[in-house]
Amino acid sequence: MEKKTLVIGVIGADVHAVGNQILYHAFTDAGFNVINLGVMVSQEEFISAAIETNADAILVSSLYGQGELDCRGMREKCDEAGLDNILLYVGGNIVIGKQPFEEVEQRFKAMGFDRSFPPGTPPEVDIECLKEDLHIQ
Amino acid sequence: MNPVLLIDFGSTYTKVTAVDTDEAKLLGTASSYTTVQTDINNGLNSAIAKLEMMTGHIEYRERYAASSAAGGLRMLASGLVPELTAEAAKCASLGAGAKVLKTYAFELNEDDANEIRKIDPDIFLLVGGTDGGNSKCILHNAKVLAEIGGDFPIVIAGNRNAVRECERILAGREVHICENVMPKFGVLNIAPAQQVIREVFLKKIVRAKGLTEASELISGIMMPTPSAVMAAMKLLAEGTEKQSGIGELIAVDVGGATTDIYSVSDGMPDDPRTMMKGLPEPYIKRTVEGDIGMRYSIRGIVDSAGIKTIAELAGLTVERTEELIERFAEHTDLLPDSDETKALDEALACMAVRIAVTRHAGRIEETYNMCGTAYVQTGKNLMNIDRIVITGGSLIHTEHTEHIASFALYDEKDPTSLKPKKASVLVDRKYIIAAMGLLSEHYPEAAFTIMKEELVNNVIAK
Ligand code: B12
CA distance A9 to A24: 9
Cβ-Cβ contacts under 8 Å between A and B: the total is 52
Residues of B within 8 A of A13 (CB-CB) are: 367, 369
pLDDT, mean of residues A104-120: 95
Q: Which of A53, A63, A78 to mutate to test binding with chain B, by most B CBs within 10 Å of its CB?
A: A53
Domain-wise residue ranges, chain B: 3-70+208-221, 74-203, 249-458
Question: How close does chain A come to B438, measured CA to CA in Å?
Answer: 38
Q: Long-range CB contacts (< 8 A, 24+ apart) of B110-118?
A: B112/B144, B113/B144, B113/B147, B113/B148, B116/B76, B116/B145, B116/B148, B117/B148, B117/B149, B117/B150
Tell me whether residue A135 is one of the annotated catalytic residues. no
Q: Is A21 on the interface with B (CB under 8 A)?
A: no
* Minimal Cβ distance to A48: which of B81, B135, B369: B81
**Signed CA dihedral, B33, B35, B38, B41: sign only:** positive
Q: Is A80 on the interface with B (CB under 8 A)?
A: no
What CATH number is attached to the domain comprising A79? 3.40.50.280
CA distance B281 to A77: 27
Q: What's the confidence (pLDDT) of residue B38?
A: 60
Q: Report which of A65, A51, A69, A58 is spatially closest to residue A7, judged by C-alpha positions.
A: A58
Residue B461 pLDDT grade (very low, low, confident, very high; cuts 50, 70, 90) = very low
CA distance B161 to A3: 14
Do the bridges between strand B387-391 and strand B275-277 make them parallel or antiparallel, or are there none, so unpaired? unpaired
CA distance A91 to A57: 14
Using CA positions, which residue lies closest to atom 89 of ligand 1?
Answer: A97
Count other Cβ atoms within 10 Å, centred on residue B269.
18
CA distance B424 to B253: 16
> Mean pLDDT lowest for which of B61-70, B178-187, B323-332?
B61-70
Residue B44 pLDDT grade (very low, low, confident, very high; cuts 50, 70, 90) = confident
- What pLDDT digit, counting tens, does each position of B241-258 carry? 999 999 999 999 998 889
ipTM of the complex: 0.84
Q: In chain A, what percentage of residues exceed pLDDT 70?
A: 99
Q: Is B367 on the interface with A (CB under 8 A)?
A: yes
Residue B203 pLDDT grade (very low, low, confident, very high; cuts 50, 70, 90) = confident
Evaluate if residue B35 carries a pLDDT over 80.
no
Using CA positions, which residue lies closest to atom 79 of ligand 1?
Answer: A64
* Minimal Cβ distance to A13: which of B186, B277, B369: B369
* Minimal Cβ distance to B185: which of A13, A52, A64: A52
- What pLDDT digit, counting tens, does each position of A8-60 carry? 999 998 989 999 999 999 999 999 999 999 999 999 999 999 999 999 999 99
Residue A84 pLDDT grade (very low, low, confident, very high; cuts 50, 70, 90) = confident
CA distance B237 to B249: 6
Residue B215 pLDDT grade (very low, low, confident, very high; cuts 50, 70, 90) = low
Evaluate if residue B214 carries a pLDDT over 80.
no
Whether residue A40 and residue B129 make contact (CB cut-off 8 A), yes or no, is no
> Mean pLDDT lowest for which of A74-83, B317-326, B401-410?
A74-83
Q: In chain B, what percentage of residues exceed pLDDT 90?
A: 74
- Whether residue A89 contacts residue A117, with contact meaning beta carbons closer than 8 Å, is answered with yes
Question: How close does chain A come to B129, measured CA to CA in Å?
Answer: 5
Count other Cβ atoms within 10 Å, centred on residue B233.
25
Q: Is the CB of A98 under 6 A from ligand 1?
A: no
CA distance B291 to B255: 11
CA distance A15 to A38: 9
**C-alpha B239: how far from chain center:** 21
- What pLDDT digit, counting tens, does each position of B400-442 carry? 899 999 999 999 999 999 999 999 999 998 999 999 999 999 9
Q: Quick one: closest CA in B to A7, which residue?
A: B185
Rg (CA), chain A: 14
Evaluate if residue B211 carries a pLDDT over 70.
no
Q: What's the confidence (pLDDT) of residue A2?
A: 79
Whether residue A33 and residue B376 make contact (CB cut-off 8 A), yes or no, is no
Q: Is B135 on the interface with A (CB under 8 A)?
A: yes
> Mean pLDDT lowest for which of A33-42, A80-89, B33-42, B401-410?
B33-42
B74-203: CATH, from 3.30.950.10, 3.40.50.2300, 3.30.420.10, 3.30.70.20: 3.40.50.2300
Which domain, by its residues, includes A109? 5-133
**A117 alpha carbon – ligand 1 mean position (Å):** 14
DSSP conformation letters of B287-342: EEETT--SSTTHHHHHHHH-HHHHHHHHT--HHHHHHHHHHHHH-TT----SHHHH
Count other Cβ atoms within 10 Å, centred on residue B357.
26
Question: How close does chain B come to A8, measured CA to CA in Å?
Answer: 12
Whether residue B133 and residue A53 make contact (CB cut-off 8 A), yes or no, is yes
**Average pLDDT across chain B, whole number:** 91
**A64 alpha carbon – ligand 1 mean position (Å):** 6
Q: Is A49 on the interface with B (CB under 8 A)?
A: yes
CA distance B199 to B38: 27
At the second CATH level, the architecture of B3-70+208-221 is 2-Layer Sandwich (3.30)
Question: How close does chain A come to B211, measured CA to CA in Å?
Answer: 40
Length of chain A counted residue by residue: 137
**A116 alpha carbon – ligand 1 mean position (Å):** 16
Residue B460 pLDDT grade (very low, low, confident, very high; cuts 50, 70, 90) = low
What is the helix (H) or strand (E) element at residue A98, kind and residue range?
Answer: none
DSSP conformation letters of B55-66: H-----SEEEEE
Residue B205 pLDDT grade (very low, low, confident, very high; cuts 50, 70, 90) = low
Q: In chain B, what percentage of residues exceed pLDDT 70?
A: 93
CA distance B295 to B194: 30
Burial A63-94 (b: 16+ CB within 10 A, else e): bbbbbbebbeebbeebeebebeebbbbbbbbb
CA distance A133 to A112: 15
